[in-house]
Amino acid sequence: MTTSPAPSITINRDLFSLDGEVAAVIGGTGTLGGLMADALAAFGAKVAVLGRNPERGAAAVDRLEKLGAKAMFQAADALDRSSLEKANEAIAAELGPVTVLVAAAGGNHPDATLPPGADFCDIPEEAWRTVSDLNLVGGTLLPAQVFGRSMVVAGKGSVINIASMAGITPLSRVPAYASAKAAVINLTQFLSREWATKGVRVNALSPGFFPAEQNRKLLYNDDGSLTPRSESIIGHTPMNRFGVAEELAGAVVWLASPRAASFVTGQNIVVDGGFSSITI
């Protein structure tokens, strides 16, 4: 059996340093993806923000450069393999080969969300496919194939897929999204096994409930008050609140670090304020 050598690790304050790492953050123009880009930059990584909105991309790069990081924006569509391949080449040319991939593309579709009292059997197939493609194909499959191939060739790297609490225990009203995120966790575990001896670690990060653009209408009424769904979520969360984006920083930096997380692969790291610990 082929084994890979254990790295030599010095335990000091540089354990979490990302100096020399090049991170590609797909979905880095969004709320949570942007925070993850900031966190990686703060610990020394060069960061490429990938997304479809040049204005938001430019704003993200400006923010990262103010943190002292070397950064760039690269227009890319996570559902377009050739677009991701061009992005990978452009990043390598400007910042160096990608060694950290944060695959944060994802979301839901109104037609795949069940209103109260709606029938699951009435979900349109097209809406279901849209959600599945966005979260599984664009959120994990294509980024892993494009950037992961380069990492395997180089013999090093960390892939961080963004899953969800819904992928662990299916939530009401969002069966398409929950199913896709469950598949993300499963594919993460598969890839971790495939690439474990090739120097590439693959993990998932499952945020609990963090208000962002894609879920705001489910969590807040138009007047800013909590919806009944929000009240149920907070009542099920031991910390009795939603998360804030900055609370994902530690987990993403840890998973990205080639030293601090050198023996961590195939895991789904949950950051949920205790939500998953409650039964009855």
How far is it, in rounded angstroms, from Cα 145 to Cα 194? Answer: 12
Q: Which helix (H) or strand (E) segment is 35 a member of?
A: helix 31-42
Is 209 in contact with 272 (CB distance < 8 Å)?
yes
Catalytically active residues are 177
Query: What is the C-alpha to C-alpha distance for residues 161 and 258, in angstroms, rounded to an integer?
Result: 16
Give the whole-angstrom CA distance, residue 13 versus residue 26.
Answer: 28
Q: CA angle 225-127-248, nearest 5°?
A: 50
Classify residue 226 by its DSSP letter. B
Q: Taking the alpha carbons of 222, 225, 228, 229 in that order, is the dihedral positive or negative?
A: positive
